Each structure stands twice: as structure tokens, then as C-alpha cells.
Amino acid sequence: MENQVNDPELEQNTEKGALEKQTEAVESQVQKDPVSTDTQLVDNKINSANLEKLVEFLEKELKFEKWFESRNTIQKIIDQFEATFNTVLQDKKKEFLDDGGNSIDFFFKPPAKEKYDTLLREYRQKKRKHYQEVEQSQKVNQERKEQIIDEIKELIGKDDNINQLYNAFKNLQDSWYKSGPAPRAVNNSLWQTYKHHVERFYDFIHLNRELRAKDYEHNYNEKLKIIEKAEELAALSDVVKAGRDLDVLHRLWKEDLGPVAPENREELWKRFQAATHEIHKKKQEYYKNFESIQKENLAAKEVLIKEMKAISETSQETHNQWQKAINKLLELREQFKQIGPVPKSDSKRTWAEFRDVSKEFNQRKNTFYRELKNIQREHIKTAKILLEEVQSILNSENWREQSNRMKTIQKEWKNIGPIPKKLVIKLRKQFFDQCNLYFERLKSGYQKLNEEETPQYESRKEYLKTLESETAPNSFDAFLDFLDNHWKEWIEMDDLNEQIITPLNNEFQKIFNKKINSLDASIEEKNQIIFEIKIRCFKGNTNDLNDELMTIKARYEKVITEINQLENNLEFFNDKSESNPLFKEVNEKLDTLNSKAQGYRDQLTQLRQELRLIKNQEEANNTDKEEPTETDSSPS
């Protein structure tokens, strides 16, 4: 409705224009299926939802605290549910009759329908209660507004301080704006009465021009904001939204703001009316062309349906091809839903075609992925069989002879087809871990425990478990005694072959390394103990001792290089006194490096002694084997 009055300050309701009356029915249709982009996304969600999702939407809206403000959305959900359910109902009935059923015996009420009926009853009850509360609230508002008018009337003619009267008047105005609407039947007459007495009050205090000017200025600024907003709406492409928002602006202008200075009234009103006329002109033009717009929308939707059919009829053979097709179809579906309404005579047909092509595509997609799942299930079965075989080989007595079979299994694994991503990561890890374990055993000379070695092995494992839980002394000397005692117990236990005892020795070493962390000793002392433990665990193992010798030697040579570099640097110092901080720092670093180098020399000496002892022992053993056996050489 065009908001125009003869008096720009005391505007009155006007009759609808002739063209507006002609387009009222069209506007009603647009409100049911708005082209506004603000509501289109919500409509799209509703239109594309199934019964269960629609019930979920309805339940969510009813739980919303401001549910009444969403009643248009709620009604769309209800309308869509009824339409969708009727379609499903007819399909189910047709299936029932095609299967030989009797029409009188047909019954279909899914859980979603039962939940919907319950929610619908709840909604209707809430609406009834809401309207009762609104009616009661409006009666209270009417009484309050009448009271405010009476109080304004009492202010007129009072012989009080003008500032006090004005403040009381502004408080009453504020109460009026906050009081809320009265019943529609009396709302306009109340407003007219209120405005009349507001003008009377201003006439009463017109001598106090400062206060009146202040109020005029406030109203002028607020009305200027309304005009600027209206001019923004006039430039908006969404004419339906612009019209709705314009009605709100006219209500603000009419009901919430008082007069402006007489010299500004005509200017402001003409500017506001210019924006109003522009919006109404666009609305009328839109409604005039509404039929042609609908036809354009129909043509656009038919083009999209044709593209969707082409995708649906194209053969997709792989997962990637299907994913591309799915994404493209979803894109076309979204474009379809973004298009506005079509002529009513074509609405059901286009929606049915849109729904059918989507349904056909989804059926083909579901068939493909069902078959793919069956194929993947076979691939998973094959993978698990190969895994079980690898595990069986690892546990067998003749596992060493199975290396060729293990290589064949690896080739067979590579030829297994696709497996779901989440599962393939887990299976692949298990498979490669088992294969790596097999070939590591093969490389390291791993031996399985025989019956005689098992109790010895278990005894040592139990000893390590007890050792790990035992608390070590904090002092350096006591810790060395603690190490000596446990090492003595460890080497006195029943012997095992080298392949089995080596990992056990490593575990013994790791336990002591952990205990060293809590030792109250210097870093050098801790490193000394760590080295001592390592040497003990290497006893008799030439390879490990030589490896350690090479490692320590490399560290030693690196430290010596650093020492030589620093000593050369010292030669360049002019000031070689302790008062030179840089010279002092280099000297301190040299002391540290020399100490570290000495530690490495001691370790190298100890390692060479160990290797020499092993070599001497081996030579002695060989000499014993080569000595001839003495015979009796006396004459017979």
C-alpha cells in the first residue's frame, strides 16, 4: 500500500491505488513463493527435504523461542510435508495395488507422519494460545495508551516549571512508544487522539522555543535516517523485500516520531514520498511483468532439467566419474532452486520432472555403489587372507624357507583392488609391519626359542621386570655398587645364544639408562656409567665393540678439531688477560673440550683393552686346538 497523505506531518491512511488492487492477487502469490534471495535459501532447503527432514525442521522451528516470527517458514514446511506425503502416499498405494492388494485394505502411516501429526497439533495449540495472549496484551496496551493521553491532557495548562512539564511529557512519549500495539479496531483512533494532544502540548509550551527546537532537531535527524534508508530500498533489485521494508519505515515515521520544524516538513515529506513513489513504481512494473518473469524462470528451469537428464543418462564406470557427475548434478540442482516461481500451470510438471530425474540418477548411483561395496568386500577378504598367511608363516617352525612365498604374497597384495580408505590404511600398516618383521628376522639371524631356552628366557624377562620397578640409589658410588650387584646376578643366570641374549642385554641397558636420569651426579659421571653398562653388555661381541670404538673415535676426532681451532684463535688475541671476557670464554670452552677429549681417550683405551682380551682369548683357544697329543716314546 502506498503511504501517502495530504498533510505531510499528520499523514492519513489512503485508499489503495487502482493498479495496486489489480496486482494484489499476484503479490499474494509472490509472498507464498518469494523471489527474494533472503528467503530463497530457506525455501530450497524445505523443497529438497524428505519427510523425516521436514519433521526435523518443523520440530526445530517449534522449539525456537521466537517461533511466531517464523510462522511463514513453518507454514511452508507444513505445505511441503503435505505435498511430499501425498506424493509418497500415491506411490505406495500404486505399489500396493500393483502387487495385487485391495484398495480398501491399503494403509500407510510412517513414523514421520505420526510425529508430524503430533507437532501439527502442538503448533495449532501454540497459535491459539499466542493469539489469546496477544489479544489480552493489546487490551492492556489500549488501557495504557488511553492513560498516557489523559496524563498528557493533564499537563496542558499546568502552572508548573516548564522544564519539569517537558520532562514529564518526554517520559510519557517514551512510555507511548514502548507500550506496544492496541487492538486494530482502535489503534488508529488512539494514534490520532495522541497526536492531537501532543500538538496541543507543544502549543501550550510554544513560548519555550529552545525545548521545542531540541525536539524538532531530534525528529528531523531520525526522519532523515528513514529517508536515506528508503532511498537505499529504492535502489534494491528485490522489489518485494523493498516493499515490505518500506511499510516498516512508514510505520516508524507515522507512529514513533513527532513533528519537525514547520520550515522542514514539506522538504522532508517530499523526499520521503519520492523514494516511496520509486519503490511503488518498481513494484507495479514488477507485477505488470510478473507473467513474463515466470515464463523466463520456466525456460531457465527446463534448460537445467535437460542438462540434469543428460548427466543422468551418461554412463559412469568409475568412482571418480561418479563423483564428478554427483558434484555437477548438485550444482544444477542448486541453480534450479535459486530460480524464482514459474507459471502455476507448469509448476507441478517442472517440479515432477526435476524430482524424477534426481530420483533416476540417485537410483543408478546407489546401484553402482552397492556393487562397488560388494567388490570391495571381496578385496577386504583377500587382504585378510594374505595377512593371516603372513602371520602363520611368522609363527611356523620352517619360517626361514618361506621367503619366496613372502615375496609372492607381496606381489599378490599389490594386485588387490580398491578398499575403503579408512580400512585400507589399517590393513596396509598391519601387512607391511608383518612383512618387515619377517625380513628383519631373516636378516638378523633371529631364532625361535626351543623348549630348553624358554624357561631361561622367561626367567630373564621376569628379572628385568623386577629390576625396572626397583628404586636405585641417588649417590654415585652407591649406584655403581647397585650396578655391579645386578650385573653379577645377570651374567650368572643360565646362558642363551647370542641372537636371543643381545635384545635382552639391550633391555637391561635401557632400564639402567632410565635410572641414571634421577642420579645425583655430574653429566660426566652419568656418561661414565652409561658407557660402563654398554661395555658390559658388549662383552665378547667383537662387532658391537668395534662399532662403539668407531663411534667414540669419530666423536674424539671432532672434539680435537674444535680444540685446535680454538687454540689457533687464541693466537690472534692481543689482550690475553682474564679481564678480556672473550678470551676468558674461549679458555673456558677449551677446558670443557679438553675434559671431554680425555673422557673419550679413556673410553677408547677401555674398548681397545676389551678387544685385545677377546683376541688373546681366541688365539689361546686356537693354540690349544693345534698342540699335538703327547705319546709314550719309551722303548718297548
Query: Using the 8-state DSSP alphabet, how is residue 518 labeled?
Result: T
C-alpha 14 chain-centroid distance: 54
What are the distances in angstroms from CA 39 to CA 30, 36, 63, 347, 365? 12, 6, 20, 19, 31
Cell matching residue 196: 492531537
Per residue in 209-242, is it b (16+ CB within 10 Å) or e — as a string? eebbeebbeebbebbeebbebbeebbebebbbbb
Let me know: does 275 contact 233? Beta carbons within 8 Å. yes
Can you tell me the distance from the alpha carbon of 5 to that of 11, in angstroms, rounded to the nearest whole number?
5
- Tell me the three state secondary structure of residue 230: helix
Containing H/E element for 371? helix 344-395
Please provide the DSSP assignment of 391-423 as one string: HHHHHSTTGGGGHHHHHHHHHHHHT-----HHH
Q: With 90 as the cut, is the pLDDT of residue 610 above it?
A: no
Cell 525528529, located at residue: 219
- Given a cut of 80, whether residue 197 has pLDDT beyond it is yes
pLDDT tens digit string along 204-223?
777 556 667 778 888 899 99
326 or 454, which is more confident: 326
What's the confidence (pLDDT) of residue 27?
Answer: 40
Q: Where are any strands of DSSP class E within 263-325?
A: none
Which amino acid makes up residue 467? L
Taking a C-beta distance cutoff of 8 angstroms, is the pair 341, 297 a contact? yes
For residue 211, what are the CA distances in angstroms to 159, 164, 177, 187, 201?
17, 11, 20, 29, 12
CB of 256 within 8 A of CB of 177? yes
Mean pLDDT of 560-585: 80
Q: What is the pLDDT of residue 260?
A: 84
Cβ atoms 519, 578 nearer than 8 A: no
Comparing C-alpha atoms, which of 462, 380, 457, 450 is closest to residue 422? 380
| pLDDT (0 to 100) of residue 632 | 40
Provide mean pLDDT across the span 463-489: 85
Q: Is the pLDDT of residue 573 over 90?
A: no
DSSP 105: G
Q: Is 94 exposed, middle or buried (0-12, 13-18, 19+ CB in 10 A)?
A: exposed
Share of the chain above pLDDT 90, in %: 15
The pLDDT of residue 226: 92
Q: What is the pLDDT of residues 480-520, one digit of tens each?
A: 888 888 888 887 887 776 667 777 888 888 888 888 877 77
Interatomic CA distance for residues 561 and 147, integer angstroms: 101
Cell of 609: 683393552
The pLDDT confidence band at residue 613, using thresholds 50, 70 and 90, is: confident
Q: Identify the helix (H) or strand (E) that includes residue 263.
A: helix 262-288
Kindly report the average pLDDT of the chain as a whole number.
Answer: 81
Q: What percent of the chain has pLDDT over 70?
A: 86
